[in-house]
Amino acid sequence: MRRTISLLIVLVMIATVSCKKPGGPAASGKKKLTIAVIPKGTTHEFWKSIHAGSNKAASELSAQGNDVAVIWKGPLREDDREQQIQVVEGFTAQGVDGIVLAPLDNRALVRPVEDARRAGVPTVIIDSALESDAIVSFVATDNRKGGVLAADRLGQLLNGKGKVLVLRYAEGSASTTDREEGFIGEIKQKFPGIELVSTDQYAGATRDTAKRASENLLNRFADEVQGIFTPNESATAGMLLALQDIGKAGKVTFVGFDASQVFIDAMRLNQLHGIVVQNPFNMGYLGVRSIVDHLQGKPVEKRIDTGVTMVTRDNLEAPEIQTLLHPPLDQYLK
Amino acid sequence: MVAEVKQSRGFVGPAFFRTQLNRFGPLLGLVLVIAVFSVLTGAPERYLAPKNLRTVLVQTVIVAIGAIGMTMIIISGGIDLSVGSAIALTGVITALGINAGLSPVIAITAGILVGGLVGVVNGLVITRLRVVPFIATLGMLGVARGVAKGVAGSQTVNMPETWANNLLSTVPKPEWLLVAPGVWMAIALAVIAAIVLRNTVFGRRVFALGSNEAAARACGIATDRLKVTIYALAGLLFGLAGVMQMSRLRLGDPTVSAGLELDVIAAVVIGGGSLNGGEGTILGSMIGALIMAFLRNGCQQLGWENYVQEIIIGAIIVIAVAVDRWRSARAAAESY
């Protein structure tokens, strides 16, 4: 029995020791606002940038005399819809002032967000859309514009003629479908001399599936295409690997999406001729700014674009591009 | 129960405490977790508010229903690693049914039956092919997940709005239910399962099978058929858990609940179930499931990061089992 008690005491101590959050700063004149920021996962660089951005917003707002605290909490299992629902429900029950959410699913998260709204907790959606009107604002990349940027770059490099293929990401993924459609629409409209030889193949969820799909596509089209577009990180990585394997990297004009060190290296080797990058840091920043504006009764736009940028070998070293590729994570994440 | 009290009357020694600890150990753990977090959050009135309790209960249901089935399996000396995949599969099947225009009752029944079918296959592989449960259900973990993705076309299955979407709303419809209908269903099932395990021939046979399979067979129990029945019954419960999962997501998601089997097994083990078989209670498993749900909720309210939460839950599983081992070692020492 005594040992049981000591075990229980150990348990309490584990719990107590890991409690390292004191009450927070003393409230200034205004009411303290607690904002929960809920990403899709916590380990990817993309989400770390969003975290840093939301922390920046909180510290800026606090410096202006608004007491704002950000709680960062992802689903316990990455990319698990149920776990993310539990996090939203938990914050609703806890009674935070507002939620900034990157929903893992455009439908599954509707009920918890609407329940939160009914309980008096408003939500700003970031990154991916939610099929609900009960939200304050949707703060995200204009994906269509990203596709258009890619098409302009590829069209110019090819001088408006040649054969191009698009390796799509996955069926039913809204953000990448917008990029693909933006790309295809712009090519058809602005570059009639360019022929789209394949636009119906999918890369699938991982780098590995993307590489296989790329290999199959290249087996058929490698000798005739001059241009390639891929709409996200894994598809771009898979295509790049496949091109390198068959010695075609650098011989076709290739524009991808999202940033990674591998892509930057490939760009320096002229194997990749441009990547469209989003601005997750800005997404986190504007997400928190918008919910706080809303809570303070200021009007908030229903749709806020966080911007897309074309990164090429030429502008790679520019300071603003470097900040975009390497957001100041260390400064805001401690 | 009466007999035990009589035995220990007039002798309030270690044996008495042990019996009490045996019965109330997990409950003590739950009370402790709730108490600790009430204090740590600095706002017990908020942590224990009906709103928060309702949320925690709803979040416990899927693991709890799974744990009812898992308790039976673990008592019988088996294990089932395919729970998470079975939940995904049955959720997808139900969503497909509702989406195809079937009435929710029929679609839900179909989902539950598919869960039972998964259980039957597990049972047959274990008894006919002589594959140990760990491996048989490890195989099923992959197969059921694959089938779920296959029938769903590798994407989520949307479905129209029906009452089936509100089985596990945090705010129940109608509101006089106090908690979501799914919570009541889980409680009812737990009570039924506890009675069946404790008071029926079937229940005694499950314990006999887990305590000593050879002896059970020698006593004339058709152990193979009993095993298939146990996995099938548990499968039906996993099917219902899948329906609950679908209801919460409002869609069939073939990728959901990966790794959930470990939560379910942990609930049973924290609740005093022994992986050697022959031991375990439904009440204990339910408390085990609640402990984990309260832990998660409390950690979130304190703003702890996920890794802290994972470490704590891991530590609690080990502590619970260590206490259990110590308890049974003492029991063995005293009986000589």
Domains, in order of start, for chain A: 27-141+280-306 (3.40.50.2300), 143-278 (3.40.50.2300)
The minimum CA-CA distance between B24 and chain A, rounded to whole Å, is: 12
Average pLDDT score over chain A: 89
CB atoms within 10 A of CB A190: 14
Interface probe with A: pick from B27, B60, B249, most Cβ of A within 10 Å: B249
**CB–CB contact A3 B326 (8 Å):** yes
CA–CA gap between residue B216 and residue B204 (Å, rounded): 10
Residue B176 has pLDDT above 90, yes or no: no
CB atoms within 10 A of CB A331: 11
Of B171, B55, B57, B47, the C-alpha closest to A85 is: B55
Residues of B in contact with A86 (CB under 8 A): 59, 296
- B42 secondary structure, DSSP code: S
**CB–CB contact B315 A86 (8 Å):** no
Is residue A229 left, alpha or beta, with left meaning phi > 0 and alpha meaning psi from -120 to 50? beta
Could you write out the DSSP letters of every residue in B215-265?
Answer: HHHHTT--HHHHHHHHHHHHHHHHHHHHHHHHHHHTEE-TTTTTTHHHHHH
Q: Which region among B55-59, B132-136, B298-302 has the lowest average model confidence (pLDDT)?
A: B298-302
Antiparallel, parallel or unpaired: β A253-257 and A227-229:
parallel
Residues of A in contact with B37 (CB under 8 A): 15
Residues of A in contact with B62 (CB under 8 A): 82
Q: If you measure CA to CA, which chain B residue comes closest to A87?
A: B300
Average pLDDT rounded to a whole number, residues A208-227: 91
- B95 secondary structure, DSSP code: H
Phi, psi of B275 (to 5 degrees): -70, -10
Average pLDDT rounded to a whole number, residues B298-316: 86
Summarised one tens digit per residue, pLDDT across range A219-234 is 989 889 999 999 999 8
What is the pLDDT, as a whole number, of residue A46? Answer: 85
Report ipTM for this prediction: 0.80
What is the pLDDT, as a whole number, of residue B13? Answer: 59
Size of interface A-B (CB pairs under 8 A): 129
What is the pLDDT, as a whole number, of residue A5? Answer: 52
**CB–CB contact A76 B40 (8 Å):** no
The 3-class secondary structure across chain A, one letter per residue, is CHHHHHHHHHHHHHHHHCCCCCCCCCCCCCCCEEEEEECCCCCCHHHHHHHHHHHHHHHHHHHCCCCEEEEECCCCCCCCHHHHHHHHHHHHHHCCCEEEECCCCCCCCHHHHHHHHHCCCCEEEECCCCCCCCCCEEEECCHHHHHHHHHHHHHHHCCCCEEEEEEECCCCCHHHHHHHHHHHHHHHHHCCCEEEEEEEEECCCCHHHHHHHHHHHHHHHCCCCCEEECCCHHHHHHHHHHHHHCCCCCCCEEEEECCCHHHHHHHHCCCCCCEEEECHHHHHHHHHHHHHHHHCCCCCCCEEECCEEEECCCCCCCHHHHHHHCCCHHHHCC
What is the pLDDT, as a whole number, of residue A26? Answer: 40
Summarised one tens digit per residue, pLDDT across range B279-290 is 999 999 999 999
What is the pLDDT, as a whole number, of residue A19? Answer: 43
At A179, list the tokens: 């990029």
**CB–CB contact A82 B257 (8 Å):** yes
Residue B269 · residue B323 · CB < 8 Å: no
What is the pLDDT, as a whole number, of residue A25? Answer: 40
Interface probe with A: pick from B22, B28, B30, B36, most Cβ of A within 10 Å: B36
At B213, list the tokens: 């399979």
More confident position, B307 or A84: A84
Of A308, A306, A312, the C-alpha closest to A285 is: A306
Cβ contacts of B90 within 8 Å, gap of 6 or more: B111, B112, B114, B115, B118, B238, B239, B241, B242, B243, B246
What is the pLDDT, as a whole number, of residue A11? Answer: 53
Residue B254 has pLDDT above 60, yes or no: yes
Q: Which region among A127-141, A176-190, B42-56, B118-132 has the lowest average model confidence (pLDDT)?
A: B42-56
Phi, psi of A164 (to 5 degrees): -130, 145
Q: In which band, very low, low, confident or very high, does the pLDDT at A9 lie, cut at 50, 70 and 90?
A: low
Residue A53 · residue A323 · CB < 8 Å: no
Name the percent of chain B lying above pLDDT 70: 92
**CB–CB contact A118 B316 (8 Å):** no
**CB–CB contact A94 B52 (8 Å):** yes
Residue A24 has pLDDT above 50, yes or no: no
The minimum CA-CA distance between B248 and chain A, rounded to whole Å, is: 8
Summarised one tens digit per residue, pLDDT across range A294-326 is 999 999 999 999 999 999 999 999 999 999 999
Interface probe with A: pick from B23, B27, B57, B59, most Cβ of A within 10 Å: B59
Residue A306 · residue A282 · CB < 8 Å: yes
Domain ranges across chain B = 57-335
CA–CA gap between residue A185 and residue A127 (Å, rounded): 23
CA–CA gap between residue A64 and residue B259 (Å, rounded): 45
Residues of A in contact with B306 (CB under 8 A): 42, 73-74, 76
Residue B315 · residue B33 · CB < 8 Å: no
Average pLDDT rounded to a whole number, residues B54-69: 95
Residue A332 has pLDDT above 80, yes or no: yes
Average pLDDT rounded to a whole number, residues B65-93: 97
**CB–CB contact B156 A172 (8 Å):** yes
What is the pLDDT, as a whole number, of residue A20? Answer: 40
**CB–CB contact B300 A172 (8 Å):** no
Residue B33 · residue B289 · CB < 8 Å: no
What is the pLDDT, as a whole number, of residue B35? Answer: 93
pTM for the structure as a whole: 0.81
Of B91, B56, B54, the C-alpha closest to B248 is: B91
Residue B242 has pLDDT above 70, yes or no: yes
How far does chain B reach from its first CA to its final CA, in angstroms? 23
Q: In which band, very low, low, confident or very high, does the pLDDT at B10 lie, cut at 50, 70 and 90?
A: very low
Average pLDDT score over chain B: 89
Residue A181 has pLDDT above 60, yes or no: yes
What is the pLDDT, as a whole number, of residue A266? Answer: 95
What is the pLDDT, as a whole number, of residue B18? Answer: 60
More confident position, A220 or B332: A220
Q: Is B267 exposed, middle or buried (0-12, 13-18, 19+ CB in 10 A)?
A: buried
Residues of A in contact with B36 (CB under 8 A): 11-12, 15-16
The minimum CA-CA distance between B297 and chain A, rounded to whole Å, is: 6
**CB–CB contact B158 A4 (8 Å):** no
Please tell me the CATH code under which domain B57-335 is placed: 1.10.3470
More confident position, B178 or A22: B178
**CB–CB contact B58 A89 (8 Å):** yes
Name the percent of chain B lying above pLDDT 90: 65
